[in-house]
Amino acid sequence: MKPSLIVYYSLTGNVADTVQKIAKEIDADTLELFPKAAYPDEGVRKFLWGGKSAVMGEEPTLEPYEFDGEKYDRIIFASPVWAGTFAPPLRTFIRANREALAGRIYAAVLCHGGAGADLALKKLRQELGLGQWQASVVLVDPKDRPSEENEQRLKAFYKELEFMAY
């Protein structure tokens, strides 16, 4: 069985924290995406810049990264929800690696403040196209607002991930 890779973007650490947790639990590799022009992470600019970028469907240029699709059977995408969709750095990654991503098993981790995750998941699935979807989990600000509900959702996610179709 090949290992899993978690590809993620995080602006204020909620996704990043969760990804580290999941990676430890399921023994996955991780790949963090960094846009060359970092999004503001404070105040109203945070929402304006990121929100506009998400709504416009931007593909921000990323800092160089290493990705060898052959090494992985399962790719887990992790992102905050921005204006009801996934964060634009994931779009850049997916479009740049379509061939390498084809035929993989997909899963998703979305963190949000309370609304819009279903739509974001739908859009992520549309962006990836046809593929074998295994599992997804939606958490509410897991770093800033830890809760028993987030923990229970993660546990259910781990269980779903155990049923690998290898």
Residues of this chain that bind ligand FMN (CB under 6 A): 10-16, 46-47, 50-51, 80-84, 111-116, 141
CA dist 65 → 5, 36, 58, 122, 151 (Å): 13, 11, 19, 26, 31
Nearer to ligand FMN, 48 or 156 (CB): 48
Nearer to ligand FMN, 55 or 102 (CB): 55
CA 68/CA 150 separation, integer angstroms: 31
Nearer to ligand FMN, 89 or 135 (CB): 89
Beta bridge partners of 108: 77, 136
Least distance between ligand FMN and beta carbon 33 (Å): 12
CA 80/CA 153 separation, integer angstroms: 16
And the tokens for 28?
């996955």
Least distance between ligand FMN and beta carbon 158 (Å): 20
Least distance between ligand FMN and beta carbon 110 (Å): 8
